[in-house]
A = this chain, B = another copy of it.
Amino acid sequence: MRSFFILLVSVFILCSLTIQAQQNDEQMLKRIHDEALAHGQAYGWLETLCRNYPGRIAGSDIYIKAAEHTLSLVKTIRNVNGYLQECEANYWDRGDKEEAHIKAADGTKSPLNVLALGNSVRTPENGITAEIIEVHTLDEVQRLGREKIEGKIVFYNRPMNPTFVETFEAYGDAVDQRTRGPYEAAQYGAVAAMVRSVSLFQSDYPHTGVTGYRDTIHRIPAIAISTNDANRLSKLLSEQKVEGYIKTNCHMVGPRYAPNVIGEIKGSTHPDEIILVGGHLDSWDNTAGAHDDGAGVVQSIEVLRILTEIGYKPKRTIRCVLFSNEENGLAGGKEYARVSNENNEFHLFAIESDAGGFTPRGFVFEADKEVLRPYMEKLSQWEPLLENYGLLFKEGYSGADVHPLLSQKGLLGGLMPDSQRYFEIHHAANDTIDKVNPRELELGAAAMASLIYLIDQHGLK
């Protein structure tokens, strides 16, 4: 009877403690959101970043200034140790603005809104003039073969599929034209490539992005053209032969200093377990990079600020990392992981925000196969808490900068914002501060701070 009584009391105490812990978590999440929504700093920081450090491609002078600026910002937060992490990135320089036009059968010329693709080679001094051939897939280029492709400008014109509700799926479905299309066309003797901007919207803005060559021989100049121009050109091509002219001035300069920016709060009881929150500091050279990825940068710093401001003392080390060179080389993410592995670090959790500063809809998680199940089970207990804020969990790719940490067998995550507007501004000159809503941006920071709080407080075991 007595042992039964002891059991009963133990169960009661255990239940009370669990309920108490849950209430504490609820209150902490509320405090995090209140701080973000009532006193958020992320939007103001983003305004400054966009205004003073636009076009901060890795290796450029403005990138280094942006790194120094964000480092000083990180250091304004109490108890944060801020420093630059040495890193070299291949600097690609656009040179003078590119030009392109098309010439109809009757000789009429009309200019195109274009941008050289990132990492692309330049045209000869007097440009490239050749007949344009429209294709829709890389397979089509193979099928057409050297006979049809040789000596031509290959025009990839498969639009993003609008019927994907999640627009990143549509991006994944269309982006091979840009990343691999020029190289593929070069295999069959194309002299240049023009790629329809990977955007879901009709506009005059060309959207750049990286392209890749797999060898040193098949490197042809490659440009993005606006969706409006792509439609216009396609219509013309359906009626007649069209000649294209392309002149680009870009070239790969080579390795340059392009540091990662790091700010960390040392953990009180498990300092060796690192929780990372990050975004990438570099942007394309043609844009202020407000959503891509200024948003992720300021949200990551804001996570440190919010946790500090509400007086939270983390058990684990919380580290904010602003990565270099995500756009055209991933040098920052790779170097960060290399150094981390060299130092035998363990990242219990690393989350990246690189999908825009829109209303957060949840998180995506990945981990090494061995450890994913137990992590997801542990996470699932917090789903009800985060559902209160409209946040859901799913499995999938975390993000390009944190992915190299996979081998440490911690949990990797990505913030998953509403994706409808992202491909209106992605890699284009209209990715500006006025496209960002302060509350949406702050809610993303609060979402990450909430999850980081829970993982720091309760671990992942």
Contacts and interface: CB of A to CB of B under 8 A. Distances in A.
A440 to B, nearest CB: 5
Contacts of A37: 162-163, 165
Interface in A388-442: 389-390, 418, 420-421, 424, 437-440
A200 B438 CA distance: 10
Contacts of A34: 163
A33 interface: yes
Interface residues of A, number: 23
Nearest to A162: B37
A165 B447 CA distance: 12
A167 B438 CA distance: 13
A201 interface: yes
Contacts of A438: 201
A393 to B, nearest CB: 13
A226 interface: no
Contacts of A421: 437, 439-440
A443 interface: yes
Interface in A360-386: 361
Contacts of A420: 359, 437, 439-440, 443
A217 interface: no
Given A38-B162, A162-B37, A439 B200 contact: yes
Nearest to A161: B38
Nearest to A390: B361
Nearest to A202: B438
Interface string A29-57: 00001100110000000000000000000
A165 B446 CA distance: 11
Interface in A140-194: 162-163, 165, 167
A38 B165 contact: no
**Which of A33, A37, A167, A420 has the most CB atoms of chain B within a 10 A radius of its CB?**
A420
Contacts of A390: 165, 361
Contacts of A439: 162, 167, 200, 420-421
Contacts of A201: 438
A306 B440 CA distance: 30
A38 B160 CA distance: 11
B443 A165 contact: yes
Nearest to A421: B437
A439 to B, nearest CB: 5
A37 B200 CA distance: 10
Contact of A359 (B33, B389, B418, B437): B418
Given A359-B420, A418-B359, A420-B443, A163 B33 contact: yes
A211 to B, nearest CB: 27
A420 B420 CA distance: 15
Contacts of A38: 162-163
B440 A165 contact: no
Interface in A15-36: 33-34
A177 B439 CA distance: 23
A167 B437 CA distance: 13
A376 to B, nearest CB: 18
Contacts of A389: 165
Nearest to A163: B34
A398 B418 CA distance: 24
Nearest to A446: B165
Given A165-B389, A420-B437, A421-B440, 9 more contacts: A37-B163, A38-B163, A165-B390, A359-B359, A361-B390, A418-B418, A420-B440, A420-B443, A421-B437
Interface of A: 33-34, 37-38, 162-163, 165, 167, 200-201, 359, 361, 389-390, 418, 420-421, 424, 437-440, 443
20 contacts: A33-B163, A33-B165, A34-B163, A37-B162, A37-B163, A37-B165, A38-B163, A167-B439, A200-B439, A201-B438, A359-B418, A361-B390, A418-B418, A420-B437, A420-B440, A420-B443, A421-B437, A421-B439, A421-B440, A424-B437
